[in-house]
Structure 1
Amino acid sequence: MTRRRPTRSVSADDLLTTLGRLTAQARQGAELQHARVELAEALQREMLPASLPALPGLSTAARYTPARDGLDIGGDWYDGFVLPDGALGFSVGDVQGHDVEAAAFMGQVRIGLRAAAAVAADPGETLSQANDLLLSADSSLFATCTFLRFDPLTWELESARAGHVPAVWATVDGRAGIAEDEGGLPLGIAPGEKYPVTRRRLAPAGAFVLLTDGVVEGPSFPIEEGLARVARLVGAGAGADPGRLATDVLEVAEFTGHSDDAAVLVLRHDAAPDRHAAHGTALG
């Protein structure tokens, strides 16, 4: 006859010990997650510019909001700087992925764009040079981007797009639209990529708004509806304070139904001086 060992009862002490071990493991995991989020947020804060350039007749403002879930932070950026010839360069973009790696790559993209813009002839060449520079770094990430160059002498805005969301424009006389300009592949995909340049004369006063897809696209509505909402806002606020307009545009992200980070950059411009108004075609 086989004797069965009595079943060992689980004591309260055993349960408390197990619970304590599991709690400690969960706390350690939560602390690690929190530390990574804080690091990504710190990188994001340090890499976004503290201020944006402006000129008489051109005022600028930007807004950024981090993602609302997990480590979805670090991919979106905005930037603005003065070029060697006195023109102003502006960029908005979105790095594939998130977390600390995306924040670090975003910094590389921004630095690459600034370096390329200092020697490039136009925004298309700026994106081409930055694209080849990023590919030489052998990263697995890529980035979408729009780069602008504003010339205060000609009152001309040149733009090029690397797989990025279209910009939105409006004039104080009530016109507004979506800048569906021709573009190229995102940065970091293929070597030797070319980026067409679109040129606009900012003859009437108005606003030109760059943004990332976190503002206009999500489960709640498609990008077309998001862009249409932004166009209505920009059309109504083309003559408003750029900071107020940037805040209003960023709030569209609350309706998208997703938790991606989002960035907005507003260029609010006066009408071109009379000596420039007769040259070229007005915005829109």
Structure 2
Amino acid sequence: MLRRRPPRSASADDLLTTLGRLTAQAREGAELQQARVELAEALQREMLPATLPEAPGLRTAATYAPARHGLDIGGDWFDGFPLPDGALAFCVGDVEGHDVEAAAFMGQVRIGLRAVAVGVADPGEVLSRANDLLLSVDCGLFATCTFLRFDPETWELSSARAGHVPGIWATTDGRFGLAEDAGGLPLGVLPGESYPVTRRRLTKAGAFVLLTDGVIEGPSFPIEVGLAKAARLVSDRADADPAEVAAGVMSVAEYTGHQDDAAVIVLCYDAAEDRPG
């Protein structure tokens, strides 16, 4: 009876050749992904403002944390800029998705808001016009956003929300809560959408905080729990330096096990009657 010989084992040279080819392919894939990550990070870094505007009696700070894994970067942003009439504008937002496309769309949203706000005073109208502008470019993405307008003459803070998580307010006398104001759909979803405006006169010294859901929500950490924890932290630091407040709020992300990027913007203010000048 004939016996079949077992197949010839691969030689050491064959194994090394195969291993080298697979290693090169893996390195090429890893380098491509790393390049995309670095590009998204560069877009994010260049598009976020280096400083935020302030006014006598108003101090501001912001912080941003990139995502922890892969390409989950590029969607969150914050911004602040002076307006022609002397008011100050602040906004924070979160673009659907991640990667370079989300970072690029984030830049479009930020520029669109700035362009509209120069000629429109009402925050709701700013969001409405920016919404229609973004829909006109037919990108296919959408973004949540909160837009604030601070008037240094009346000491009034007016705000509008486009599908974004609520802000947090706290006063130095120990009161605090969530700014669960009425709002509209995210930007880039439905043309002609309207956005209600909430107005607050800052009669007591305190802090107002805007943030993205990457700060307060994680795989096993409900957003309600994260908001409550962040609100208590803001209350404990309502009379602190805004950078300290921002760092405290961002620390909540360490509890959530967040994988998304995250942004926080803080306004700390004196009482209206105590403001300088």
- TM category (shorter chain) comes to over 0.9
Q: Percent identity?
A: 78
Instruction: Name the structure 1 match of 2:22.
Output: 22
Partners of 1:199 and 1:7 in 2: how far apart?
A: 81
Shift, 1:257, TM fit:
2.1
Shift, 1:258, TM fit:
2.7
State the TM-score, normalizing by the size of structure 1.
Answer: 0.94
Report if aligned partners of 2:63, 2:263 keep a CA contact under 8 Å in 1.
yes
Shift, 1:119, TM fit:
1.1
Report if aligned partners of 2:156, 2:200 keep a CA contact under 8 Å in 1.
yes
Deviates further, 64-73 or 8-17: 8-17
Residues 160-202 of structure 1: per-residue CA shift (max 9 Å, x gap): 0000000000000110000110000000000000000000000
Q: Which amino acid in structure 2 is aligned with residue 164 of structure 1? A: H
Q: Which amino acid in structure 2 is aligned with residue 38 of structure 1? A: E
Shift, 1:140, TM fit:
1.1
Instruction: Name the structure 2 match of 1:233.
Output: 233
Instruction: Name the structure 2 match of 1:149.
Output: 149
Shift, 1:271, TM fit:
0.7
Instruction: Name the structure 2 match of 1:80.
Output: 80
Report if aligned partners of 1:168, 1:231 keep a CA contact under 8 Å in 2.
yes
Does 2:57 match 1:57? Answer: yes
Shift, 1:274, TM fit:
6.3
Partners of 2:45 and 2:237 in 1: how far apart?
A: 28
Aligned positions of 1:101-250 closer than 5 A: 101-250=101-250
Does 2:48 match 1:48? Answer: yes
Alignment RMSD = 1.6
Partners of 1:273 and 1:256 in 2: how far apart?
A: 39
| Deviation beyond 6 Å, 4+ runs, structure 1 | 1-6
Task: Say which SS state the counterpart of residue 116 (structure 1) adopts.
Answer: helix
Shift, 1:10, TM fit:
1.2
Change (3 A) 1:181 1:20: same
Task: Say which SS state the counterpart of residue 62 (structure 2) adopts.
Answer: strand
Partners of 2:223 and 2:113 in 1: how far apart?
A: 26
Shift, 1:121, TM fit:
2.8
Partners of 1:160 and 1:112 in 2: how far apart?
A: 16
Shift, 1:137, TM fit:
0.5
Instruction: Name the structure 1 match of 2:269.
Output: 269
Aligned residues: 275
Q: Which amino acid in structure 1 is aligned with residue 16 of structure 2? A: L
Partners of 2:273 and 2:149 in 1: how far apart?
A: 18
Listed as ranges, the gaps of 5+ residues in structure 2 are: none
Shift, 1:6, TM fit:
7.3
Report if aligned partners of 2:215, 2:258 keep a CA contact under 8 Å in 1.
no
Report if aligned partners of 2:157, 2:200 keep a CA contact under 8 Å in 1.
yes
Change (3 A) 1:156 1:18: same
Instruction: Name the structure 2 match of 1:279.
Output: none
Listed as ranges, the gaps of 5+ residues in structure 1 are: 276-284
Residues 87-109 of structure 1: per-residue CA shift (max 9 Å, x gap): 00000000000001100000000
Task: Say which SS state the counterpart of residue 254 (structure 2) adopts.
Answer: helix
Report if aligned partners of 1:142, 1:188 keep a CA contact under 8 Å in 2.
yes
